[in-house]
Amino acid sequence: MSAAPIRELHAPASAPLADKCAAECTRSAELGAVLFRNRGWLPVPFFAVPLLVPGEQGPATWAAGAALVAAGEAVRLAGVAAAGTVTRRRSRTVQRLVTYGIFGWMRNPLYVGNFLAWMGVVVASGVLWFLPVALLLFALEYSLIVRYEEGVLESIFGGEYLAYKARTPRWFPRPPAAPESGPHHWGEAWRSEVSTLLQYVAMAGALVAKQVFLDRA
């Protein structure tokens, strides 16, 4: 099946900020806006549990954790390559809605990638009892943030976004009925993800140091 032409929705660059729609004014969306503004540091206390709590680390947990992190980063990379490094940081001034590439399979690939990567960190730590807790925490956080982002996009793009929302799953990927093509800037995406990759390395190093300390204790 041949891919359909590129489909990108643009808001006029000189247009004033769109009025807030009802979806952006719900209590869950307002709470999501608070979490969105603080999403950069929220995982820091979360990492304290895998780092400080003793776990059963071994080749199996490291391999499974690394596989989850790699899968999550692959999803993230595909999302950044399609959306660019600016449009992935959504705000009420967003100018571009991407509906092709991995965004044709799911609406929130960056959060799905983050979720997989963080579950990988927990598995690699060997603190497996924390895995269901982590799953629930991230599910709650990302669900609220996405409520806010969906309200923003509905406010800006209106019916066009609602049509995209109706045909594309929020979390679980599904092949699009009519695939769309568009540019992917892989070089820019890799450069943008360097800091994320370094964070993975730093966390892996911290988990190794934890295990060495526990083995010597």
Question: Over the stretch 20-77, which tens digit does the pLDDT of each residue have?
Answer: 776 667 888 788 888 888 887 888 888 999 999 999 999 999 999 999 999 999 999 9
Higher pLDDT residue, 95 or 144? 144
Cα 40 to Cα 176: distance, rounded to the nearest angstrom? 31
Supply angle C-alpha 103, 109, 138, rounded to 5.
150
List, in order of start, the domains of the chain with CATH numbers.
18-216 (1.20.120)
Q: How far is CA 156 from CA 9, 95, 127, 146, in A?
A: 10, 9, 43, 15
Which residues 6+ apart lie within 8 Å of 198 measured at CB?
Answer: none
Phi–psi pair at 143, nearest 5 degrees = -65, -40
What gap in Å lies between CA 106 and CA 176, rounded to an integer?
A: 9
Cα–chain-centroid distance for residue 198?
17
Average pLDDT over residues 169-182: 94
95/14: higher pLDDT? 95
Task: Calculate the alpha carbon distances from 206 to 10, 48, 199, 210 in Å.
Answer: 43, 11, 10, 6
Number of residues assigned to the chain: 217
Give which of 70, 79, 140 is closest to 105, Cα–Cα: 79
